[in-house]
């Protein structure tokens, strides 16, 4: 089974001591690609370093809502420069809204920063990787302002009805380790109710580790357990499903393997 991880954070300190060994293991375990997502100024630069050092990585750059307080007048120029100097930057993200951590940045500022980056993505003709936590209405309202822009709803936590709204707008639904948890009824319903052509799989490594490794550091080859779960829900052979999921990622991010 081949694996493409559409969302990870390997610039995290949890990987600083063994990243070289991990990459070797991933290749042995049929991981053919990983998108590393920047969340602030420094992690965007770290993402650039990863995509230059390892052929398995692609990059996405942006300011996460928890980092929106550090977004300044120069931030859009910074992102723009990174993209034009690196052809393996394939998306803008991780961007979006997070009202769980209201104390970090006011809602109004988060929305402004989110929409600035959405406009940049549209100008650059890049898809977006969107974070939405406890902000379903405002996230959808902002996305509707940018018709024609495509992307993925990372770590989707909404209802089947909301998922279908995003699919109509050209967005994929990101499914990760949460789907394997025993108390994950909502995301199981979403998987059951939408077509596999609208799903991407992801780790959010080092977070959201699937069963049976929950509580440990996540890694891209653990996506096998997410694919296996989706396979059982949709009653589709896991090998066949993995090919469809890879095609979905390649279509969204305009990836062509050499």
Torsion angles phi and psi, residue 133, rounded to 5 = -125, 115
Angle at 78 between CA 72 and CA 79, to 5 degrees: 105
C-alpha distances in Å from residue 137, one per residue of 99, 155, 158: 11, 16, 10
DSSP 209: P
Beta carbons of 229 and 183 less than 8 angstroms apart: no
Given a cut of 90, whether residue 161 has pLDDT beyond it is: yes
Residue labelled with tokens 């109004």: 108
Q: What is the pLDDT of residue 103?
A: 76
3 strand-pairing partners: 31
Please report which confidence band the pLDDT of residue 258 belongs to, taking 50, 70 and 90 as the band edges.
low
Q: What is the pLDDT of residue 104?
A: 81
* Residue 137 C-alpha from the chain's centroid: 20
Please report which confidence band the pLDDT of residue 108 belongs to, taking 50, 70 and 90 as the band edges.
very high
**31-53 burial, b if ≥16 CB within 10 A, otherwise e?**
bbbbbbbbbbbebbebbbebbee
Given a cut of 80, whether residue 151 has pLDDT beyond it is: yes
Residue 129, both tokens: 């990787």
Q: What is the pLDDT of residue 73?
A: 87
Q: How many helices (H) and strands (E) does the chain have?
A: 9, 8
Cis peptide before 206 (omega within 30 of 0): yes
131 strand-pairing partners: 96, 154
Given a cut of 80, whether residue 102 has pLDDT beyond it is: no
DSSP 89: E
Please report which confidence band the pLDDT of residue 101 belongs to, taking 50, 70 and 90 as the band edges.
confident
Q: Does pTM surpass 0.75?
A: yes
SS3 helix, strand, coil % of the chain, rounded to 5? 50, 20, 35
């Amino acid at each position: 089974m081949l694996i493409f991880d559409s969302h990870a954070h390997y610039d995290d300190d949890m990987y600083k001591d063994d990243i070289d060994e991990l990459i070797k293991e991933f290749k042995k375990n049929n991981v053919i690609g990983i998108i590393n997502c920047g969340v602030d100024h420094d992690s965007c630069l770290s993402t650039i370093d990863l995509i230059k050092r390892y052929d398995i990585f692609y990059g996405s750059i942006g300011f996460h809502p928890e980092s929106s307080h550090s977004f300044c007048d120069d931030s859009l120029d910074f992102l723009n420069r990174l993209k034009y100097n690196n052809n393996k930057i394939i998306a803008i993200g991780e961007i979006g809204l997070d009202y769980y951590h209201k104390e970090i940045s006011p809602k109004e500022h988060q929305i402004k920063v989110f929409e600035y980056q959405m406009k940049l993505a549209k100008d650059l003709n890049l898809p977006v990787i969107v974070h939405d936590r406890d902000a379903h209405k405002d996230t959808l309202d902002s996305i509707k302002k940018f018709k024609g822009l495509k992307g993925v709803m990372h770590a989707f936590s909404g209802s089947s009805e909301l998922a279908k709204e995003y699919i109509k707008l050209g967005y994929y639904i990101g499914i990760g380790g949460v789907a394997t948890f025993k108390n994950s009824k909502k995301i199981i319903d979403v998987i059951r109710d939408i077509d596999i052509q609208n799903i991407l799989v992801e780790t959010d490594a080092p977070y959201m580790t699937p069963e049976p490794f929950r509580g440990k550091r996540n890694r891209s080859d653990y996506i096998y357990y997410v694919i296996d779960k989706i396979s059982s829900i949709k009653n589709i052979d896991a090998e066949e499903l993995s090919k469809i999921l890879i095609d979905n990622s390649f279509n969204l991010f305009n990836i062509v393997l050499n």
